[in-house]
């Protein structure tokens, strides 16, 4: 079975490796088909594609779009998109615009709990200032030594309801679906196990996603526990979704799961790549 890794991040969003270094790591780790899925930005794709080609590594274009659904942030991965599609590019650019203001508000709130200079501190870690994200704040807080790891930073400072959390309105599900499908892509709900919805809300999300032309959900991802691989395999089959697999790798020493190292998809599901010609 081929090793597909269809979700990871470079310095173009909140990863710590360049697209070229990510391609090399994917190849070294035995990935057979690779997609890079930076948050809300397609600017790294040309470099990723060229690096993959030089390594003879089959490459699939990707993006991970932040949306707000039922007051929560949900991520929708688009695969096989035409990254030159102007509606997609403009839509993502419009949505990214709010990140700087949000980051300044996050920093102001962090000041109130004694964390100083967080905007400048986070910016230093952002390869792309346009994409300044909670991950960059988390790296700054780790540098300050106030927490021992990323998950502690999120549970104490940056998660919903914590001092550094600023609610934000991202794209709508319908926008994201139009951008992805308008660019010829396949839409995938990223790491469904991470969202805090009750069963009714989950069912509504999956149904609406399906209605809007959604194709797949991530089943085996670095953001799921082993139990969740089986749980979301059942969800995929119940709703007639294909299943995707991706590490959600952000960087060495930071991500729990390295690129290309996840177990295979459960046998019960149909892979999102079942009809791809590689
Ligand atoms: P943002 O788009 O600025 O809200 O940042 C979201 C990013 O923060 C995600 O893409 C993850 O990379 C990271 N993140 C969110 N929650 C956690 C967590 N509990 N542990 C580690 N990283 C997280
Ligand atoms: Mn991220
Ligand atoms: Mn995500
Ligand atoms: Mn991701």
Q: Which ligand is nearest to the CA of 259?
A: 4
Residue 96 CA, ligand 4 centroid: distance in Å: 16
Of 198, 203, 278, 276, the C-alpha closest to 241 is: 203
Residue whose Cα lies nearest atom 6 of ligand 1: it is 134
pLDDT-derived band at 119 (thresholds 50, 70, 90) equals very high
Q: What is the pLDDT of residues 165-211, one digit of tens each?
A: 999 999 999 999 999 999 999 999 999 999 999 999 999 999 999 99
Same domain? For 178 and 70 the reply is yes
Q: Indicate if ligand 1 lies below 6 Å from the C-beta of 151.
A: yes
Structural domain contains residue 267: no
Same domain? For 110 and 89 the reply is no
Of 174, 40, 210, the C-alpha closest to 202 is: 210
Same domain? For 210 and 138 the reply is no
Same domain? For 48 and 178 the reply is yes
Same domain? For 77 and 21 the reply is yes
Of 40, 270, 77, 39, the C-alpha closest to 190 is: 77
Same domain? For 28 and 58 the reply is yes
Structural domain contains residue 10: yes
Same domain? For 39 and 139 the reply is no
Residue 38 CA, ligand 2 centroid: distance in Å: 8
Percent of the chain having pLDDT more than 70?
100
Q: What is the CA radius of gyration of the chain?
A: 18
> Which pLDDT value is given to residue 278?
82
Structural domain contains residue 25: yes
- Report the relative pairing of strands 216-221 and 186-189 from DSSP bridges: parallel
Q: 49 lies in which domain range?
A: 4-95+169-246
Task: Find the CATH number of the domain harbouring 136.
Answer: 1.10.150.650
Same domain? For 150 and 185 the reply is no
Same domain? For 65 and 78 the reply is yes
- Report the relative pairing of strands 33-35 and 216-221 from DSSP bridges: unpaired
Cβ neighbours of 167 (radius 10 Å): 12
Structural domain contains residue 254: no
Same domain? For 8 and 80 the reply is yes
Query: What is the number of the ligand 1 atom nearest to the C-alpha of 159?
Result: 16
pTM assigned to the model: 0.98
Burial class from Cβ neighbours inside 10 Å (0-12, 13-18, 19+) for residue 206 reads buried
Q: Indicate if ligand 1 lies below 6 Å from the C-beta of 250.
A: yes
Cα–Cα distance, 233 to 36 (Å, whole number): 23
Q: How many domains does the chain have?
A: 2
Residue 78 CA, ligand 2 centroid: distance in Å: 15
Q: Averaged over 12-40, what is the pLDDT?
A: 98
Residue 134 CA, ligand 1 centroid: distance in Å: 6
Mutation test of ligand 1: which of 14, 135, 165, 221 has the most ligand atoms closer than 8 Å to its C-beta? 135
């Amino acid at each position: 079975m081929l090793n597909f890794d269809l979700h990871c991040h470079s310095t173009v969003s909140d990863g710590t490796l360049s697209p070229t270094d990510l391609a090399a790591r994917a190849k070294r780790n035995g990935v057979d088909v690779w997609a890079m899925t930076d948050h809300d930005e397609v600017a790294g794709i040309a470099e990723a594609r060229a690096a993959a080609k030089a390594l003879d590594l089959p490459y699939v274009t990707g993006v991970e779009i932040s949306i707000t659904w039922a007051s929560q942030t949900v991520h929708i991965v688009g695969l096989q998109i035409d990254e030159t599609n102007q509606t997609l590019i403009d839509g993502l650019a419009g949505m990214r615009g709010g990140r700087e203001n949000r980051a300044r508000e996050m920093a102001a709130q962090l000041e109130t709990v004694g964390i100083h200079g967080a905007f400048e501190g986070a910016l230093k870690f952002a390869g792309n200032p346009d994409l300044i994200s909670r991950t960059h704040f988390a790296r700054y807080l780790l540098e300050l030594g106030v927490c021992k790891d990323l998950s502690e930073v999120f549970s104490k400072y940056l998660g919903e309801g914590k001092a550094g959390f600023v609610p934000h309105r991202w794209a709508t599900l319908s926008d994201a679906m139009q951008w992805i499908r308008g660019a010829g892509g396949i839409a995938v709900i990223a790491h469904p196990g991470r969202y805090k919805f009750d069963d009714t809300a989950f069912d509504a999300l999956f149904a609406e996603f399906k209605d809007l032309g959604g194709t797949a959900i991530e089943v085996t991802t670095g953001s799921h526990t082993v139990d969740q691989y089986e749980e979301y395999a059942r969800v995929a089959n119940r709703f007639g979704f294909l299943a995707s697999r991706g590490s959600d790798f952000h960087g060495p020493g930071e991500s729990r799961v390295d690129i290309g190292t996840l177990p295979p998809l459960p046998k019960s599901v149909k892979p999102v790549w079942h009809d791809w010609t590689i």
